[in-house]
Structure 1
Amino acid sequence: MTLGFREPAKKSLGQHFLHERGVIDKMLLAISPKPGDRFVEIGPGQGALTFPLLDRHGALTAIEFDRDLLEPLTAASKPHGALTLIHSDVMNVDFTALAAGEPFRLVGNLPYNLSSPILFHALDHAASIRDMHFMLQKEVVDRMAAAPGSKVYGRLSVMLQAYCMVTSLFKVPPGAFRPPPKVDSAVVRLVPRPPEQVGIDDPRRFADVVRAAFGQRRKTLRNALGGVCDADRILAAGIDPQTRAEQLEVADFVRLANLAPAPPVDSD
């Protein structure tokens, strides 16, 4: 147990505390903190990444939900640098307001049971984030970085790759954590694309098209998109309506969504 931290990991919060120094060093090398960077960490836990990052950079803001970790984190951080703690569920943190016009770098060992919601929450504030380095379940990272045609290429792949450059960096074994999870983990880098490179006219419509396309993977686009986009518009996007979603490139989905009609407005 880390000095000053008396509480064990809480299963209810999906806590697995990173402790393997070699993994921490590889993460720091991947993050490569520079003077002038602003860092925000999600879930500092017992400070495994927090304190070495403070040693390198000097200042850090961290978002921690577990009240029992706030006092020991504050005390243990003092020899390392200036740690600003936000006690909150990360889903309730407005990253745009936190950035205050100065985009920051986001890091964290994400709780595996909440990783997808947190990723989509970060996407909503991508304009305020320079890059992201996350530790996640390896299966999720594989889906995030998957290429078209892969068995794990799906909604998460398309949504993230449309807005970010996604790079799987390295695998992390269960023994690097305390207690060890039952799955392998991996570190991933996401770099938000500039808006002009994204090219999505209506983010909500894009999300609707991608969700419908992968809603029933075995169906062709003609059938899967029946309530969202008709066969004529699929053809107009230069796509065969008999194609299945996993065969399309991200750019195909963007083109398709930009041609699709807006969903009907509920008059009630």
Structure 2
Amino acid sequence: MNTNKQHTKGIEGKVVLITGASSGIGEGAARLLAERGAKVMLGARRTERLQTLANEIRDTGGVAEYRKLDVTSCEEMDAFVNEAVDKFGRVDVIVNNAGVMPLSNLEERKIDEWNRMIDVNIRGVLHGIAAGLPVMRSQGGGHFVNVASIGAYEVTPTASVYCATKYAVRAISEGLRMETEREIRVTLVSPGVTESELADSISDEHARAAMKEYRRIALSSKAIAEAIGYAIAQPEGVDVNELTVRPAKGIN
């Protein structure tokens, strides 16, 4: 584990729940936060990956638990949060990270894919809030970190529905911040193009080829994890509202 106090300050000892933790940004956040002293609870559908990740974190001196989680199920999300409370006694941070991105033009009518994005990208975040908010209220504080995208600010061809879901996450985050009146911190993290498995869900041939070209210059998942860590590490009373993280070099 990293024992550098400069890195662990504000993170060490916090109980952090992460959805979509089996790969990409979720995995990167789990490794970084555990290294800096957080107790991480990992959720995703692929439990074999979660088990491997949790074991690797434990082998380096970190604290990690995991549970199978489909964020589209409100019941599974409730159980995920309840298990974290049972094991650690509280919930300090929920990172609503799980997401899918099967891009296509609207005329392709990939309605099942649209519904999947709505279920995972929007309902998944709402389920995380619904499960975590009563716990955070009862303990007198907490922090939601909702992972959106630069698609929460701009729309591109083939990404209409995906961007709509991320606009929704942005709106939900702002509404939650206003409703909780600063008792609970809310951070929206919007990554630019990032190395992940999101593009693997693109079934449309043309959209897949365009995304491959777009991703020639991409951020590492650790870069987004650092942004998440930055927001979590802020002192009490400081709420980082929004972080947009893009590659430093433009796409050629």
Sort the TM-score into its range (normalised by shorter chain): 0.3 to 0.5
Higher relative contact order (CA 8 A, sep 6+): 2
Identify the structure with the greater helix proportion. Answer: 2
State the TM-score, normalized to the length of structure 1.
0.44
